[in-house]
Structures are given as structure tokens and as C-alpha cells.
Structure 1
């Protein structure tokens, strides 16, 4: 659902809420500057920015587009900055675009095109109020305050992903057979998405620090350098975590190979024992087969000798089996 908020900022004063877009146009003509915040807007809702504030139509097209990378575009009278905010809930990473249209007299923010928790921006007014003495200096200081809030939320998401990586590492060590490698592939995809976003955001803020956007003043450059340092640190964190995902995948494969090798060794031991039993009983089976196929008197020498004959035959089989075992042991086949 679309919503709009308009604020009028005057030096060292609390911002005043403006009820209509017409009041925004009147406030722009006076002192201070205005902040126009659009949450989930439509093309019709943003069209007055083109008609009344001189925003380029391509900017509105970018504000309504999807799957764009962070960038900075400079137009006559204003500049367009595309930034990203992160959300992470239920193992799902959400990257939402936050657009800034900045000029000396107004700052426009556009967000909310991706369904996200509403409390993401609930603490933003509190942050602005705490830095009221700074944000009332100009639209560039207000944009920095909003960016700084968004960057702080990025760190929360990165910490959650790091915690998941640590949990995955413990699971691989404790029970590699039960671990699902899809978890590593999911985390790897999240790290690649964050890396792509942070890489381009760092370039955008670098351009702001070089004052490629005319609305960035000398005094606000130092504030944007602080954001640049945070983004650089986050980019390094993501790179380290991305390498950690690769190392964990190698660890998982190594653990699985060790597990399969252990099973193979156990199977070899079983086969070795079965082969030993078969080798020992093979000549005994041959003798018992020959004796079983022969005539009764051929083994006993008569009915009166069967007890002695069969007893001697059984003793001979035991001795032969024992000699066979000793031979295998002497050959070190056992």
C-alpha cells in the first residue's frame, strides 16, 4: 500500500509535517528544504516530481524499476542515487532499493517496492531527531543520516549470516553425514548477492566523496567518507565469509570422503574375515564331499568300525583346518 510523508526542515528546528504536495511547493520557495518520502509509490504518485520539481523522467523510471544495481546519475538541477537496504528473515535475504533524488531545496526518498517488515524505517525518525542539529544543515546531511541508518541495518544482516556460517561449521564437524550441502549453496548465493551490492555501493559513495554530485558540499564529504569506510569493512567481511563458505564446502567433502573411507575399511575387514573362513573350510568341504559321495564301507571298512573311522575323520579335518590357518598366518595373509 502506497504512503507519503512530507517534511519541512528549517535550521536548528524540528521538522514540520506538510499535509499536501501543494504545501511542499510553497515550502520550497521559502527557507530551508523539504523531504518527500514515498513508500511503495505508483507512477501516477511520482509524476508530480517531473511536472513540478523538474525531475527527469528517467529517474522516475529507475525508481519504479527492479533488480537494478546501485548507481549515481547526475541531471540538471538534481542527482539520483540508487542504494540498497538488506533484510534477513526465515533464511531469506531481501535486497530492496532505496532511491534518493537530491537537490539543494528538496530530498526525495523512494522505497517499499519489495514487501518488507514495516519496522525497518520506524526508528529512522528517532535517528534524525537525535542528529537534528546536523541534518538541518542541508539535503546532503539529511541523505547522509538516512544512508547511515541503512548501513547500520546492513551490519545486522551480515552478523546473522556469520552466525549461520558458524552453526553450519559445527554441524559439519559433528554430523557430516546428516548435513545438507544445499545450506552452503544458499549461503554462497547470499554472499554473492551482498558482494555485488556492496561493490557498487562503495563506488557510489566514492563518487559522492569526490563531489561528483553538485549537491554534496565540502562539509558533508567527511560524513560520507565514514559511510565509505563502513561499506569497505562490510565488503571485506563478505569476502571473508564467501571464502569461508568455499572452505566449509571443501571440509564437508573431506569429511564425507573420510566417512566413506571408514565404511570401506570396515567392509574390507569383513570381507577379509569371510575370505579367511572360506579358505580354511574349502579343503574340509572337499573332504566331506568326497566322503559323502563314497560307499559307506569305503570310509569305515565295515559296520563295526564306524565310530573309530568317523572320529578319526573328524579329528583329521580339525587338524587340517588348524594347519591351513597356521599356513595363512605364516604367509602373513591373516
Structure 2
């Protein structure tokens, strides 16, 4: 799918431009050229063939022939996923962004790549998955002329700022899922919780691998002297950079929470194991003297059997044995309670 937003100087933004009109618009003089935002929604690359066979021929033609972007930059945009980066091609910038969506039901981070070509009064975006931040900025740019007054680089800032804003709900959801896991651990620890904790931890680590390079890309846009970024608009990218710095710090805090949840699970399981072992130890200790007494009187010291059939000797020994078998565990139990072992 190919969408075009066209903004002439004193006219409202138009979304009804035909693709066939692009060559004439691009051929106009730079000072008199209208601003363009072309959004390209392609198919996901097929693994193993660098995505070429799955790309819409119309999109491929636009990028290579109409916009005349460098083949290496086009191949990067059409092929497999890249980490966030920015490449300066003199007349335009090639930028890779990543939007994120957190699927709380399976505790998984879904990254959505957005490839951007930023030129003079030109913004070209390419993606093969829906990106809510892009859709929001696209609709606002149609209604609000202020999005166009500062140039295409300001449109890129608005897009970057919206993507950064969408990271916060993602981190909030991860933190909420972690809190739910911790509550469940203290209520009823189960092996399934370990799997869920590890899934959340993997999501946090993946988010960390995205945030760090994304933050550096914004830092370059805010501080380096790129010809496509107006010096007056760099302050806006510094604001986005501050957002990503805070996001990186929050991500580290969430990672500590996930690690703490795993430690909590191990501690609860260890405590329950200790309780079970204590009960088993107490039972074994209480029955140990009984085993000794029965074993002692079961041995034949004086022949084939110890003759205790004559009263009152037999009944006396039996009573003493039974009394010892009852009194000894009770005494040991009282001693354990006195020492606060139970």
C-alpha cells in the first residue's frame, strides 16, 4: 500500500495524490517544492531471499527509480531486521527505528521496524507491520498545518516522539505483569511461574537491546551536523533523547524487579523445603528412641529368649518399657519447644 501526503505552501495537506504525480513533484526546484510524506506499507520479507521477491514491485520501483535512493540503503530497508541506526547519504538520511508492542498474555516483546528516508522536504517511511504511532502522526499531519511549517525533519521528530511515548505503556505492562507474578509466588508458588518470569526477563533484555542503539540514533540527530536536520529543530531531538534516557533507566529498574521476582520464588521454595525437612527431622528424632527400646528388648542376651513370663517381673518390665516409649518422645518434644526449634 502506498499513501502520499502533499503539503503546498498555502494549501492544506492533501492525501489524494496519485503515485504517477510523484516524479513531477520531485523534479520541482528545491525552494519551491511542496513537502511530501510517502508511506509505504509492504509485505514482510521472506526468510532466505533478502526480501526481494516478496516486495511490492511498485514500492521497489519508487525507492530505486523515482526517489533514486542508493541501492545499498534500499536493500537495507527491504531486507531483514536491523538494529536502530542512522546513515548519512549526503542528500538524504537513512534511519532505522523500532516501535514496540508488549503482549502481556505471553509476556513477549514484539518489535516493529520502521525504515525512514529523510530528504529535503521529503519524508519516506517503509514498514511491513502496522505502527500505531505512525498512524496517529499521519492523521494529525492531515489536520494540523503546524506539523509542516518546520520541515520534514520536524515531522520525523513528531514520529520519533510518538514512538518513544509508546514505550512507556509497554514498560508499565511489564512491571504490572511482574507484580502479578510476585503476588502469585507468595500465594501459591508453582513451577509454571518460573517459565513466565524467564519470558518476562527475556522481553526486558530484548527491550534493552533496542533502547540503547535507539537512544544513540536520537543523540546523533540532536548533536551531529546533518544537512537534512535543521539546527533549530535539533533541540526537539534532544527532548526525545531525554525520553530514551529515562526509558533506559526505567528498563533497568524493571529488570531488577524481574530478577527480584525470580529470587523471591527461589526463596519461597527454599523456605517451604526447609519446613518440610524440619517436620521430617522431628518425626525421625521422636521415633528414634522408640526404635532403640524395641530393638534393645528384641535382642536375645540370655539364651533363646528372655524369660519374663513370671509375674510380677514380666508386667513390670513391660510397663517400664511402655512408659519409656511414651515419656521419651514427649520429653524430646518439650525440649525442642523450649529451644524454639519448633
Normalised TM-score (structure 1): 0.84
> Which stretch shifts more, 123-132 or 182-191?
123-132
Work out the CA distance in 2 between the residues paired with 1:142 and 1:196: 26
Please name the residue that 1:180 is paired with.
193
Please name the residue that 1:220 is paired with.
233
Superposition deviation, residue 275 in structure 1: 1.4
Partner SS state of residue 228, structure 1: helix
Contact 1:38 1:111 in 2 (8 A): yes
Please name the residue that 1:36 is paired with.
38
Counterparts in 2 of 1:109 and 1:291: CA distance versus 1, 3 Å: same
One of 2, 5, 12 as aligned partner of 1:7? 5
One of 76, 85, 90 as aligned partner of 1:71? 85
> Which stretch shifts more, 229-238 or 27-36?
27-36
Please name the residue that 2:110 is paired with.
94
Please name the residue that 1:303 is paired with.
none
Please name the residue that 2:340 is paired with.
none
Please name the residue that 1:107 is paired with.
123
Please name the residue that 2:256 is paired with.
243
What do residues 88-127 of structure 1 show as CA deviations (whole Å, max 9, x unaligned)? 2232321011011010131100112x5x5x7665433333
What do residues 271-324 of structure 1 show as CA deviations (whole Å, max 9, x unaligned)? 11221321233334447x989957xxx765xxxxxxxx3565133211244357
> Which stretch shifts more, 39-48 or 80-89?
39-48
Work out the CA distance in 2 between the residues paired with 1:129 and 1:222: 24
Task: Say whether residues 1:23 and 2:21 are aligned partners.
Answer: yes
Counterparts in 2 of 1:188 and 1:327: CA distance versus 1, 3 Å: closer
Task: Say whether residues 1:124 and 2:140 are aligned partners.
Answer: no
Contact 1:177 1:256 in 2 (8 A): no
Please name the residue that 1:50 is paired with.
64
Partner SS state of residue 31, structure 1: coil
What do residues 67-104 of structure 1 show as CA deviations (whole Å, max 9, x unaligned)? 31000000031110100000122323210110110101
Superposition deviation, residue 259 in structure 1: 1.3
Contact 1:284 1:317 in 2 (8 A): no
Work out the CA distance in 2 between the residues paired with 1:276 and 1:327: 7
Please name the residue that 2:318 is paired with.
317
> Which stretch shifts more, 245-254 or 174-183?
174-183
Counterparts in 2 of 1:323 and 1:153: CA distance versus 1, 3 Å: closer
Normalised TM-score (structure 2): 0.82
Contact 1:202 1:228 in 2 (8 A): yes
The structure with the largest alpha-carbon Rg is 1
Which blocks of at least 5 consecutive residues in structure 2 are unaligned?
44-54, 337-342
Please name the residue that 1:166 is paired with.
179
| Greater helix share, structure number | 1
Counterparts in 2 of 1:327 and 1:222: CA distance versus 1, 3 Å: closer
Work out the CA distance in 1 between the residues paired with 2:242 and 2:285: 64
Q: Number of matched residues?
A: 316
Superposition deviation, residue 133 in structure 1: 1.0
Superposition deviation, residue 50 in structure 1: 2.1
Partner SS state of residue 82, structure 2: coil
Counterparts in 2 of 1:320 and 1:105: CA distance versus 1, 3 Å: closer
Which blocks of at least 5 consecutive residues in structure 1 are unaligned?
301-308
Please name the residue that 1:257 is paired with.
270
